[in-house]
Structure 1
Amino acid sequence: MNANHHETSGPSRTQQITLRGPAELADALPFMLGFHPTDSVVLVALHGERGRFGGRVRLGIPRSPGEWASTADHLAECLVEGGARNGTRPDGIVVFLCQDPEGGETGRRVMERLRPFAQRLRTACGALDIPVYEALCISDGLYFSYCCPDARCCPPDGTPLALSGTSVMAATAAYAGVQVRGSLRDMEGRFKPTGGPDEERQRAALDATAARIVPRILEDAEGKERKEVRETTLRLAREVLRRFADPERPSRKNAQGPANAGRTVAGTAAGDAADDALIDTDEAAALILGLQDRVTRDRAAEWMEGWEGTAALRLWRVLARRCVTPYQEHAAAPLSLAGWTAWSTGDEPTARVALGLALDADPEYVFARLLHQACNEGLDPESLRSCLRTERDGRTASEQAATSAARRVRMRTARPQSTRQTLRKPGRQTRGGAGRPPAGVRPGGPAAAKPGSKTPRPGGQRGTRSGR
């Protein structure tokens, strides 16, 4: 078994450790991904003579063995082609199959059941001229090797995994600030509906909102209604976003939620419940339906940094949980936004989970597909952030220019036609003489305050431009 190097970047330095053998590889997997990959197949690229870890791809294990061949080909191509685009074609691959026993199975039984899938993955990689250096099955707290024939290090009944936090990899990751977020199942659960009595109320709100909003979007030939819905959705989203930044601001229908949110810890079940309390069912329905518009979604993607990014991730997570049956496909928009925001703020494990769920909700959702590919290939999100900043700044400048122009037009419209003040020179005023109008006032016609009114309006002096 070749030694492999895994580099973990900390706040101020890069730590390099050497992994020797299947045991240390199995222990390193959660730290590479940021979570425990339950029910997953993971391929990790190796580079150079010493097997430096590179790109990786993860996918849920297909339930049907009939899908294993196509899945193996797809994963191998994704990993190899992704590395080639970055100029780093893999020199080798490590395969992990992770699945818990079901229905009275043992870990060894799971390993044997998945053996044909492991073999198909090895041949798929070999067909691309990339050898598989190791293939491991992790199940029931044990690891099994499909490649190592030595029963002394890889016995047929499996080898127990190291206790959590006791390995060299765990110590190095803790020093570098790398965290394991729990299991993949737990991370996915934070984006899915929780059930309960509130689910029926949310479904009713979605039905009512869809009946009101969807016709305005689809049946609007001129686009005026669609634009109005867009602006209304973004205005509501900004208002709700400020609640997450300032949890003391109550929602309109649930005044107790924000107080609880201020005392709970983000990332916990209690924290998610407090976030749910910040948005009522009607607001959530309006945001979910409004975000189905592509332009609205792209505008919302601009909340990607600083306090806006932190608050937006919580908001998109809540909206994804509110996409109850039969509105599961609508979750693709908030899930994609959650994936983008997490990736932009440096939380790649959450980004991959959210984007994977977005593709589960709608496999053809282009926004999620592009982000998922970019995140998996290790691209820098700054290029997309820069584009969004430029678009936002340009739109803001245009809106400000339009507002200034409209203000000038209103001022010109409200200004009287004659702005010169009529000055009466001493000695020329006429006292008395009720039949004679004051100087500078022309009787009737244009000097009247309103059409048909006998009330005179001050004008210019005779001989001036205005009193001509």
Structure 2
Amino acid sequence: MNSTDLPRLTVRSPADLIAAVPYLLGFHPAESIVVVAMSGSRIVFAARSDLPGDADPREAAGHIAAVTARQGADSATVIGYGPAAQVTPALDALRDVLADAGLAVLDALRVTDGRWWSYLCTEPDCCPPEGNAYDPRASSVPAAAVFAGQVALPDRATLARQVAPIGEATMRPAIERAEQRLTALLAGAPASDLLGRRALRVAGVAAYRAARRRHRDGERLTDDEVAWLCLLLTHLPVRDHAWERTDGRVEDVAFWSELLRRAEPELIAAPGALLAFAAWRDGQGALAAVALERVLAEHPDYSLALLMDDLLRRGVPPSRLDGWPIDGSATGSKRGKRRPRRRQPRRRDQ
């Protein structure tokens, strides 16, 4: 199974759906509201947000409902994780705004301490007042998901650690060497090369190609290779060259993850934004979100990160932009469209 083929998980009961949610999101939710959107009998979208806490539940519900309504879904199941005092008003608000958006709410569930309750079922035989105990191990869903190569991390913090800095002390000297190399490159550019732009792009393309080739061969990039490429990626023509060649492939996600984790904070903007793009293209909205959080904390005005953050917040599906930025306006390049991607359930997290 490649990264564009999420497994078909057969869901026959609320317990099965609860068991499936961590694999739809990529991690086990807690203190959360989750929407699982359907088109017919097919799951097309899963989104998560924090419980609103003291905030107006209708405001939070309105945002996640608006995102869900744009996914081509006709129905949804909503699930709240946490104590009843926090989950109930959040789910009530979400059910109302989903209905106002024209989506049928198939069920509304609360999950607390290994038990689940339905807000729509009043039959004591199947939905007793004390709730239903559930054990995900009793469902066939986790086994099917694991067999298909899907992973459900323990929580969102574990996911965030996948983009956390490695903190190699040797990177700072490597950056200093890269800066000296860049100074020499610009000094050696011919007078006809205004501001050394051509020399920068040639060097950037060469560095990107060499790094991708070594990464595909399973070789670990040296500190100097990481520092040099990340420094060159601060120049937009180099960044856009890499962007045009980034899609939702496993190797794209792995490559940009490594660069983001190893780069020093001042150089993480391009690798982090490109990781977010690759993860979003692969349907890994939660991974894209944590990558963007890290980038925007250091570089709040970085345009590509802001663009990706807007796409995630509006729930734009990757299929809407097949071929972009190759055939889009971002770079003006016209190399032709990428091959169409198979439709898959989309995951979003905020």
Rounded to whole Å, the distance in 1 between the matches of 2:250 and 2:151 is 19
The letter of the residue matching 1:118 is L
Query: Which residue number in structure 1 is paired with residue 272 of structure 2?
Result: 335
Please tell me whether the aligned partners of residues 33 and 51 of structure 2 are also in contact (alpha carbons under 8 angstroms).
no
Structure 1 residue 193: Cα displacement = 1.7
The offset of 1:292, in angstroms, is 3.4
Query: In the TM superposition, what whole-angstrom CA distance separates every residue of 1:380-400 from its partner, at most 9, and x where no partner exists?
Result: 765338639x94859xxxxxx
Q: Residue 284 of structure 1 aligns with which residue? A: 226
Amino acid in the other structure paired with 1:355: A
What SS does the aligned partner of 2:55 have? helix
How many residues are matched? 316
Q: Deviations over 1:392-437 (max 9, x none)?
A: 859xxxxxxxxxxxxxxxxxxxxxxxxxxxxxxxxxxxxxxxxxxx
Change in CA separation of 1:183 and 1:173 when aligned onto 2, cut-off 3 Å: same
Quote the Cα distance in structure 1 between the aligned partners of 2:142 and 2:211: 39
1:228/1:78 Cα in 2 relative to 1: closer, same or farther (>3 Å)? same
Q: Which has the higher contact order (CA 8 A, sep 6+)?
A: 2
Unaligned segments of structure 1, at least 5 residues: 1-8, 84-88, 99-106, 248-257, 259-274, 395-468
Partner of 2:19: 27
Deviations 1:128-168 (A, max 9, x none): 2434332223354443434444555445555443333x424
Q: Aligned partner of 2:62: which letter?
A: D
Structure 2 unaligned residues grouped into runs of 5+: 187-192, 337-350
User: Which aligned pairs between 1:207-356 and structure 2 lie closer than 5 A?
Assistant: 224-247=195-218, 258=219, 275=220, 278-280=221-223, 282-304=224-246, 310-323=250-263, 327=266, 331-342=268-279, 347-349=282-284, 352-356=285-289
Task: For residue 15 of structure 1, report the CA deviation from its aligned partner.
Answer: 6.2
**Structure 2 residue matching 1:301: 3-state secondary structure:** helix
**Using a 3 Å threshold, how does the CA distance of structure 1 residues 376 and 96 change in structure 2: closer, same or farther?**
farther
* Partner residue of 2:62 out of 70, 73, 83: 73
| 1:196-236 superposed Cα distances (whole Å, 9 cap, x missing partner) | xx2x554676688679979x99xxxx852344334333322
User: Superposition pairs for residues 97-246 of structure 1, below 5 Å?
Assistant: 97-98=80-81, 110-150=83-123, 152-155=125-128, 158-164=131-137, 166-170=138-142, 173=145, 177=148, 179-183=150-154, 185=156, 186-195=158-167, 198=168, 201-202=170-171, 224-246=195-217
Q: Is 1:53 matched up with 2:42?
A: yes
Structure 1 residue 191: deviation in Å?
1.5
Question: What is the one-letter code of the residue matched to 1:115?
Answer: T
Which residue is equivalent to 1:82?
A: 71
- Give the secondary structure class of the aligned counterpart of 1:125: helix
* Partner SS state of residue 383, structure 1: coil
Deviation at 1:299?
0.8
- Tell me: CA distance 1:54–1:163, structure 2 relative to 1, closer, same or farther (3 Å): closer
Q: CA RMSD in A?
A: 4.3
Q: Which amino acid aligns with 2:90?
A: F
Q: Is the partner of 1:319 in helix, strand or coil? A: helix
The structure-2 alpha-carbon separation of the partners of 1:56 and 1:228, relative to structure 1 and needing over 3 Å to count, comes to: same
Letter in 1 for 2:159: M
SS of alignment partner, residue 229 of structure 1: helix
Q: Tell me, yes or no, if the aligned pair for 1:38 and 1:184 is still in contact at 8 Å.
A: yes
Give the TM-score normalised by structure 2.
0.69
Instruction: Confirm or deny: 8 A CA contact 1:241 1:315 kept in the other structure.
Output: yes
Aligned partners of 1:46 and 1:153: how far apart in 2? Answer: 23
Give the residue type in structure 1 aligned to 2:79: F
Letter in 2 for 1:357: V
Check the 8 A contact 1:57/1:75 in 2, yes or no: no
Post-superposition offset of 1:313: 2.9
TM-score by length of 1: 0.54
The one-letter amino acid paired with 1:41 is I
**AA matched with 1:320:** L
Equivalent-residue separation in structure 2 for 1:205 and 1:57 (angstroms): 41
What is the aligned-residue identity percentage?
Answer: 26
1:111, distance to aligned residue in structure 2 (A): 3.8
1:204–1:386: structure 2 CA closer, same or farther, 3 Å change rule?
A: closer
Q: Which has the larger radius of gyration?
A: 1
SS in structure 2 at match of 1:348: coil
Aligned CA distance change for structure 1 residues 367 and 212 (closer, same or farther; 3 Å): farther
Measure the CA separation in 2 of the matches of 1:313 and 1:46: 27
Partner of 2:347: none
